[in-house]
Structure 1
Amino acid sequence: MLNLTIDTEDKRIIDAVRALLKGYGVSYSEKRERSPYSASFVKKVKKAKTRIAKGEFIEVDPENLWESIESGLKQ
């Protein structure tokens, strides 16, 4: 027996692979892996990525942490 793992969330690809396997008469099973992260954490990360893309962030100078944070908050 050979196990194949397909890592995709693209529904078109998933449907195509299912159809291919069915066409060849290959039996298969599906198992969706759960994320190790909580839904609230994933939501926060996605929100942060969106804010970064919009330029809504503060650059911090490691040599002057508090000064760079304070000046970033004033802008």
Structure 2
Amino acid sequence: MEITLKNVKKKDLPIFESLAKSLGFEITKKEDKPYNPEFVKKILDGEKEIKEGKGITMTMDELHDLCK
């Protein structure tokens, strides 16, 4: 059986860990990584290129035509 605790406050975590250890439970921690690091790098690289003037300018009509 597996139990998952979500949204545990940092101050309460030692209490849960202590209880689990005293009962002989195995504890595994999984850190949340909301975004794929490769995706984040692409976004940051794109923003950098825009600041360096490497982006292009499109009108809304050009954008609509591109999406058809």
Where on the TM-score scale, by shorter chain, does this alignment land: which range?
0.3 to 0.5
Larger Rg: 2
Higher relative contact order (CA 8 A, sep 6+): 1
TM-score between the two structures when normalised by the length of structure 1? 0.40
